[in-house]
Structure 1
Amino acid sequence: MVVCSHFRESLPFETFTDADYSDHGGFSGAAPATDPIITLSVFSSESFRRRLPSSVMSLLPVSANRTSSALTTQRLLYQLSSDQLAIQKQYDQLSSGRRVLRLSDDPAAANRALGLNRSIDRGEQLVRNANSVSGFYDSSDDALSRIDNALIQARGAAVEGVETVISDDVRTAIATTVREAIQSVFAAGNAMFRDQQLLGGILNSDAAFQYDGNEIVYGGNSAVGRTEVGLGTPSSINVTAAESLGAYSMILEGDPLNASLDHATRLVDMRGGKGVTPGVIRISGGAEYTTVDLRTAGTIGDVADVLSSLEISGRKLDVTLLDDSIRVAYADGLAGTLAIEDSAGSTLAHDLSIENPGGFSAPPIIGDKLMPRVTTSTKIEDLDYGAGVDLSSGITIQQGQQTFNIDLSDVETMGDVLIAINRSGADVHASLNEAEGRVQLRSLRSGVDYSIGENGGSAARSLGIRSATETTRLSELGRGRGLVLNNDSVDLTITRPDGTELGLDLEGAETIEDVLTLIRNHPQNQDTSRVLVSLNQMGNGIELQAPPGAAPIRVSQNQFSNAGTRLGLIAEGESEAFGVMDGSVNKVAGVDYLPLEAGGALDTLMRLEAAILSGNEGEIGRLQSRLDEDLDRASGARSRVGIWSRNLLDMKAATETEIVQMKSQLSNEVDADLATVISDLSQRQIAMEASMRIIGQTSQMTLLNFL
């Protein structure tokens, strides 16, 4: 055994007896218990090494062999450098409080820490989002609360205003109360938070409502902001003026427009919007199948072009697009077998209704009911199932006392029609419901009536947006109050220029068409001097015309009936109307019998103010029910904000709890145990001191030390 006896005094090692050696697989020779020696390099038992203090472990291995001085010095300097680095690492842990300062310290823990840090950052961002959204909710609730209070106040004023015996001063005071409610709703509708409209659309910094004379114009948008405040669907941060005030209300949704197939009709627009999925089909003339890859087809024209270029069993195909179908046959027009099938995973032939497995049906194969939907790119010539419509005359929009004539003579697509309407200057917004192929018109101005009619042709009817037609029900007239008719007697009398009277009993009539039919078919109106009746060619309303005679046409309503007024033939407050000469005929041109109201809380309040000032009890009573609807709408919007706010608090609390838990896990992964670090540092310092002593003593050794 090699013993470095001169190290005995300087090394802080335990004293081992020979019993210790024998217990740990050491030499069998005895060793004096009072003579500690370094024999570390010859023991390999792990159980023995575990009994050594860390200060000893830091010195392993200390070579006891006869080596060169340079190698011994290099090994000892390496030992000293390792001790210095270990001490510096522990100093870093003490100063930072972190056990893992870099990935190399503990790669597994560092990887877990990175994931926890990302989750904590995301959670903290969600909390910041929640704090920001909470401000929107609180401000929105305040604005909606003011709207609720104003509508309740106006509802009370309407109840007072419907009294029959009220002085002018009292009536004016009641109307002033309604005016204050209008101002309150107007201000709440323009409420802002962080330079953004609360009700007028997110990211809109301008006032949503503005006065134009005595009328109010809505200039906001329907944009809704959303942000993530927890896991799941992003939460809305605002309600719109349409949801809370009924602004931007839809005043008209036109009749469905029917389009025909066109070479440029997109596959996604077919089958009523369900679409046709491009795929691979197989075609056979009775022998082998030809595979046709149509996965890149975008339009029905692409499908037709590819199929028309094929030769099946030496015969070319002829593919024709019809109004609502596609026809596949042989170009020579002769019969034969024409099998069309979908390849595995494809549904193209099935979607186009041209599937013909095994050639069971003889050509031509016709796939019908493809129903292309109407989009902004649909051509005007493709409307009405391909017959096209004539829009050259244009349409007329009556807005209060203003009339806007819209030129549609140059439009080519439905998108052009919408642009022409939206740029007309009228306070309406036109859009297209592509799912149903309907033109939608929304109002932007409160306090006025709207009317969409003709400008000398049939463009409005062709677009399905003429607001008053023959199908209008009589129960809809008078703003939903219908007609007041006499019991079993004449309700309306039309006196022709020749003096012939046409008495009309409207009992049983249900639509405007029924009224027109009664006039046309009246027994006293079948000669050459008959009264012709139709809808106005300009605007809306009923038009009566007859050859000139001794007196003009006269329309009168009898007894208690208000049929003439509600049909737009007699002015409000009058009992009769007279015709005027228009060229070679005598004519009564009625006004629109179905004016459209802008809708919404502000429109209701403005109409209520006017009705109270004029003492129109019937109108006040009608507007009371509308006020109830407006209040329900505003209260519903406020309720939604309250629910959002409650959910927001719950999600915020859950996120904050999750952040605390993740920070605790992060601390367990990367934070240092200060007690352990201090203990290890003390031992490292002892080990470093030992290393320095060894270096100092070995640097003085001579050859005699090894003899």
Structure 2
Amino acid sequence: MSVFPTAGSRTSVPLQNQRLLTQLHADQTTIQSYYDQLSTGQRIQRIGEDPAAASRAISLQSSIRYGEQLVRNADETTAFYASADQALSVIDDALIESRGAAVQAASNVLPDDEREAIAIGIRQAMEQIVSAGNTTFRDHQTLSGILQTGPSLVAEAGTVLFTGTQATGQTKASGNVTVQTTVALQSALGNSEPLVHGEPLDTTLTEATRLIDTRGGQGIRPGPLRISDGTSWQEVDLSTTATIGDVKDVLESMDLNGRSLSVTIQNDSLRIEYQDGLAGTLAISDPPGSSTAADLNIENKDGFDPPPLISGKLTPQVTAGTTLDQLNGGAGIDVSAGIQIQQGNETFTIDLSDAETVGDVIIAINRSGADVRAVVDQTNGRIDIEALRAGVDYSIGENGGTAATALGIRSATAETTLDSLGHERGILNLTDAPELTIIRPDGTELELEFEGLETVQDVLDAINDHPDNQDVRRVTASLNSVGNGIELVAPPDANPLTVRQAEASSAGNRLGLIPEGENEAVGFTQSGTAVFVGSDYALREPGGAIDSLLRLEQAVRDGDTYEIGRLQEQVDDALKQAVTSRARVGIWTQNIEIMRNNASDQVVSLNEQLSNTIDTDFADVIANMNASQTALQATMQLIGQTSQLSLLNYL
């Protein structure tokens, strides 16, 4: 509080009045400031009153708002977790009931009405899972994709179609920590599993290969590098390059004391030498702050290695933009014939005649109408195909060419093991009779014993190399050129091609040559050739809890105890997966509660600091205001006294 002294010497009346009015105004302003502090609870009303404290307060207020938002995020996330836990609880209970039903149905002495009752119970459990899978919370799918607008699981004609996504919600919970707010349905139910994990496509380096797609996806960081011919260093800037071809062009444009460089792009590396082909020093290094030469694997700092310099493997990554000509080690692949996808009783033929890149193939498959989703697995350099419809079998085969094989996505190949046939049942080897007999049109019988055979290719070789099958009437065995399965071809004669299995054998059934429940099948004549076309011996199941329950329901009705046992194991696995997902949600809930409490405690601490910085000290303000009021009263009294003075007071 400022107080102006009363002048003790003679002063003019105007000056004296001005000093007193100034004191009066200062007292009133001070009192008003104290009133403002008392009414607002803050000692700072404007930044100019205390700039340092105001700056601290602004920073603290920003941190408080951030912390309060973290608390709100944690509360929202906890609510999502509670919804997910409830949905997973329903799934767990349904799977437990289904497992018990499978154990009960494994008995082969149940009457049909009891089997039907058990099957209906399994169907109800499946419907409960579908309902739980479609659970929403605040207009978002709890398990089926955070961006999904409608039901993700749609029951249709004894099957269930997955139309959702695997997208999960995320939110910031603490500092730079981002947490997942929803559960992907695949992790909870195992649905939409890949039907086929494709074979590596073996791509090569080309001028069009992007730098970011090299080194297995780690990429090359373009920047400057230094090159020397042994006399002086030159720095070349590669920061604007985007492809291997750009790097080649820039390096070949250099002039090293009259000598030019030649860059050859090999399958997986670069070859750098002088264009004249002569010897000499060729040193390459990175300037400080750059790693381009190291990323390109062409460092030769001291020039000890003579040209040509061969870079280390650059490992180009398979992406949607990879051209088909780059695949197969640079030899390219021919996919013009297209592929076939068998989905239950439906066949989808996919035209790939216009495909030029891996992305074109992916788009063609995804737009084929088949309930599949093709994706590029960049990590492993392959195409994966996921099944979206539970309750049907899938098959991916050829359409008269080799496209499916070349793309690595044929579901039944010659490398399929015999032990994996029939859902891992395999083929029982007999000791007293051949497992399979092929009767040629001319009546010659080719007896096949499967002892020592491990793959379908071994079976094909056993037929083609059979000692009694080496004449002009020989039977040729190969994989079907359309779809999947084994095809037998022979010159025509009086009888058709016939395949027969021993009474105790299942070789023909497992290989798709003989229908289930039968021991013999015959072929037909086509265009003057005896032909026998087998069916797919390695049908693929979509997998997941829903698919297992749909199949279990049918197996219970059929009384197929082996199939019930197999599917019971799948239900057990699905239950473990669902329980694990629920446990994961529980752990997430605990973690988010800890982070929420930390954020809440931090907000309390920040509010305390803010209070110490800008809040009013009421006791101090009241004391100062009383003093200011006393000073104001004194000033007003002095003004009153001085205003009564006249000339007579000075005589």
**Equivalent in the alignment of 2:283:** 340
SS at match of 2:415: coil
- The answer to whether the aligner puts 1:637 opposite 2:591 as a matched pair is no
Q: 1:529 to 1:614 in 2, by over 3 A?
A: same
Give the equivalent residue in structure 2 for 1:136.
80
For 1:123 and 1:317, the matched residues in 2 are separated by 59
Of 198, 204, 207, the residue aligned with 1:254 is 198
- The code of the aligned residue for 2:90 comes to R
What is the Cα deviation at residue 60 of structure 1?
Answer: 3.4
Residues matched between the structures, number: 650
Q: Does 1:236 align with 2:180?
A: yes
Give the superposition deviation at 1:65.
2.0
Report the AA paired with residue 560 of structure 1.
A
Q: Answer whether contact 1:229 1:648 (CA < 8 A) is retained.
A: yes
Please point out which of 487, 502, 510 is paired with 2:446.
Answer: 502
SS of residue in 2 equivalent to 1:436: coil
Residue of 338, 343, 349 corresponding to 1:405: 349
Alignment partner of 2:71 out of 117, 127, 131 = 127
What is the letter of the counterpart of residue 406 of structure 1?
A: I
From 41, 46, 50, the counterpart of 1:102: 46
CA distance in 1, matches of 2:190, 2:607: 47
Preserved CA contact (<8 Å) 2:106 2:565: yes
| Residue 468 (structure 1) aligned with residue 468 (structure 2) | no
Corresponding residue SS for 1:238? coil
Select 1:668's aligned residue among 612, 622, 631: 612
Give the TM-score of the pair, scaled to structure 1: 0.89
- C-alpha displacement of 1:544: 1.0
Partner of 2:546: 602
Distance 1:177 1:541 in 2: 36
Q: State the partner residue of 2:401.
A: 457
After superposition, residues 14-53 of structure 1 pair within 5 angstroms as none
Q: How do 1:360-371 residues align onto structure 2 when only pairs under 5 Å count?
A: 360-367=304-311, 369-371=313-315
Decide whether the 8 Å contact of 2:229 with 2:283 is kept in 1: no
2:267 aligned residue (300, 323, 329) = 323
Task: Assess if the C-alpha contact under 8 Å between 1:284 and 1:337 holds in 2.
Answer: no
**Relative to structure 2, which stretch is displaced further, 424-433 or 126-135?**
126-135
With over 3 angstroms needed to count, the CA separation of the structure-2 counterparts of 1:658 and 1:368, relative to structure 1, is closer
Counterpart of 1:637, as a letter, is: S
Counterpart residue number, 2:567: 623
More moved, 129-138 vs 110-119 = 110-119
- Structure 1 distance, partners of 2:620, 2:252, is 84
Task: Look up the SS of the partner of 1:200 in the other structure.
Answer: coil
Tell me if structure 2 keeps the 8 A contact 1:265–1:301.
yes
Tell me the amino acid that sits aligned with residue 634 of structure 2.
Answer: A
- The residue aligned with 1:173 is 117
Aligned letter for 2:423? Answer: R
Asked whether the 8 Å contact 2:286–2:292 carries over to 1, the reply is no
- Give how far 1:703 is off: 4.3
SS in structure 2 of the partner of residue 315 of structure 1: coil
> Which structure has the larger Rg?
1
1:198 to partner: Cα distance: 0.6
| Range that drifts further, 504-513 or 97-106 | 97-106
Q: CA deviation at 1:299?
A: 1.1
What are the ranges of 5 or more consecutive residues in structure 1 without an aligned counterpart?
Answer: 1-56
Rounded to whole Å, the distance in 2 between the matches of 1:457 and 1:511 is 22
- 180-189 or 653-662: bigger deviation: 653-662
Deviations 1:55-88 (A, max 9, x none): xx75332221222111111111000001111111
| Contact 1:483 1:566 (C-alpha < 8 Å) held by counterparts | yes
Q: CA offset at residue 689 of structure 1?
A: 1.2
- CA gap of 1:491–1:338, structure 2 versus 1, over 3 A, is same
Measure how far apart 1:706 and its partner are: 4.8
The equivalent position to 2:511 in structure 1, one of 553, 567, 572, is 567
**Structure-2 residue corresponding to 1:116:** 60
User: Counterpart in 2 of 1:91?
Assistant: 35
Distance 1:122 1:274, change over 3 A: closer
What whole-Å deviation, never above 9, does each CA across 1:347-400 have from its counterpart, x for those lacking one?
434443444455544443333533222111111111112111111000111111
Aligned counterparts of 1:235 and 1:359: Cα–Cα separation in 2? 50
Cα separation, 2, equivalents of 1:544 and 1:136:
58
Q: What is the CA distance between 1:286 and its match in structure 2? A: 4.3
Greater Cα shift, 271-280 or 637-646:
271-280
Judged with a 3 Å threshold, the aligned counterparts in structure 2 of structure 1 residues 95 and 424 are, in CA distance, closer, same or farther, namely same
> How far does residue 434 in structure 1 lie from its aligned partner after superposition?
1.3
Aligned equivalents of 1:676, 1:364: Cα separation in 2? 85
Structure 2 unaligned blocks of 5 or more: none
Shift of residue 232, structure 1, vs aligned partner: 4.1
Q: Which residue of 2 aligns with 1:553?
A: 497
Are the equivalent residues in 2 in contact too, given 1:154–1:178 (CA < 8 A)? yes
1:502 to 1:639, Cα distance in 2 relative to 1, 3 A: same
| C-alpha distance 301-157 of structure 1, shift in aligned 2 (>3 A) | same
Q: Does 1:613 align with 2:557?
A: yes
Hey, what does 1:266 align to over in structure 2?
Answer: 210
1:14 corresponds in structure 2 to none
What is the distance in 2 between the residues matched to 1:540 and 1:302?
44
1:278 alignment partner in structure 2 = 222
Determine which of 154, 161, 182 is the counterpart of 2:105.
Answer: 161
CA displacement 1:516-571 (0-9 Å, x = unmatched): 11111111111111110000000111111111122111111113211111111111
Q: Please give the alpha-carbon distance, in whole angstroms, between the structure 2 residues aligned to 1:540 and 1:567.
A: 11
Partner of 1:306: 250
Question: Residues 668 and 620 of structure 1: is their aligned pair in 2 closer, same or farther, counting only changes over 3 Å?
Answer: same
Q: Which amino acid in structure 2 is aligned with residue 172 of structure 1?
A: E
Give the TM-score normalised by the residue count of structure 2: 0.96
CA contact (8 A) 2:522 2:532 kept: yes
CA contact (8 A) 2:490 2:530 kept: yes
Amino acid at match of 2:595: M
Q: Deviations over 1:212-249 (max 9, x none)?
A: 22211001111111112333411111101111111221
In the alignment, residue 291 of structure 1 is paired with which amino acid? E
Return 97-106 or 540-549, whichever deviates more. Answer: 97-106
8 Å contact from structure 1 (residues 340, 354) kept in 2 = no
1:316 aligned partner, one-letter code: S
Q: 1:381 to 1:137 in 2, by over 3 A?
A: same
Distance 1:292 1:93 in 2: 66
The 3 A distance-change label for structure 1 pair 270 and 555 is: same
1:699 to 623, 638, 643: 643
Matched, 1:589 2:533: yes
Q: Tell me by how many angstroms 1:179 deviates.
A: 0.7
Deviation string 1:426-449 (CA, Å, 9 cap, x unpaired) is 111111011221001111100011
Rounded to whole Å, the distance in 2 between the matches of 1:136 and 1:284 is 61
Is the CA contact (8 Å cut-off) linking 2:230 and 2:283 kept in structure 1? Answer: no
Instruction: Provide the rounded CA distance (Å) in 2 between the counterparts of 1:242 and 1:93.
Output: 59
Tell me the residue number matched to 1:41. Answer: none
* In 1: Cα distance, 2:257 partner to 2:627 partner: 94
1:610 partner SS: helix
Q: Quickly say closer, same or farther: Cα 1:671–1:183, change in 2 above 3 A.
A: same
The residue number in structure 2 matching 1:519 is: 463
**Counterpart in 1 of 2:359?**
415
Which amino acid counterpart does residue 280 of structure 2 have in structure 1?
A: T
Quick check: 267-276 or 255-264, which moved more?
Answer: 267-276
CA distance in 2 between partners of 1:619 and 1:88 (Å): 89
